[in-house]
Amino acid sequence: MNNSLPRLIDGMIATLRREVLPNLEGEFARGQAIGIIYMLNSIQRRASWSNRFFQEQLIAFSKASKELQAMAGELPGAPLPGVTNIPDLPDEGALEARRNAGDEQLCHMIDWLAERRDSLPAGVVAQVETILDNYLNRQLKWDIETSAKPMFTEISRGRED
């Protein structure tokens, strides 16, 4: 992959829209192609090449750098590459798992509060609900901000005009 991810997705969308869609027979098939365009638009707003992909490349670079540095005495004046510290970044799967675990804990908290709200002071209940609602609103706002414009009309009609 030697192109940027956003440009690759732009290219795929343009090809589908200009070259594939006009030549597709049938409303359903065209609707599916528009569904692919919509999902590519959605992916573009959230996706990047994975940390794991770059980390493996950095590990290889680091190994080569170290080996070349070890030969410095035999290579006077050579532009030896510096050894890069590889940041210990979690991969996307680990981040997603942490997000999910956090949400699961909040689900338990919400269920617990629902069962006991009558035995807790009203002010405490209101305060907890405000904290939860602020969290939920922030998450939902972010979800919507990073979503593509829906194309349901176009998908069901099988055309974009």
Partner 1 sequence: MALQAAIGDFLSKDAGRPIVIERLQKFPAGFSWITYGVKLRGHPRADDMILRIGPPYGLFAPYSAMPEFQSLSALEGSGVPVPRAFAASDDHSILGAPFFFCERVAGDTPLPWGGGDGAMNDARRESLAADFIDSLAALHNFDWRRTELEQWDPSITVDNAADRQLDFWWERFQRWALRAHPMAHRTFAWLRRNKPRAPRVTLVHGDYRLGNFLEQDQRISAILDWELVHLGDPTEDLGWAFLPQYRGGTRMVCALADEDAFLTRYQDKVGYKIDRAALHFYIVFSLLKLALTHMAAARCFEDGLFNDMRMPAMATQIGPVFRQIAKIMERSS
54: which 2 tokens? 């770059």
**Contact (CB, 8 A) for 47 and 7:** no
Which of residues 15 and 69 has its CB atom nearest to partner 1 in the complex? 15
Instruction: List the one residue out of 104, 60, 120 whose CA is nearest residue 84.
Output: 60
Q: Which of 5, 64, 94, 140 binds partner 1 (CB under 8 A)?
A: 140
Distance CA 154, CA 159 (A): 5
Binding mask 6-45 for partner 1 (x = CB under 8 A): ---------------------xx--xx--xx-xx--x---
17 burial class (0-12, 13-18, 19+ CB within 10 angstroms)? middle
Residue 144 beta carbon to partner 1: minimum distance, rounded to whole angstroms: 6
Under rule CB under 8 A, residue 104 binds partner 1: yes
Which residues of the shown chain bind partner 1 in the complex (CB under 8 A)? 27-28, 31-32, 35-36, 38-39, 42, 100, 103-104, 106-107, 110-111, 113-114, 117, 132-133, 135-137, 139-141, 143-144, 147-148, 150-153, 155-157
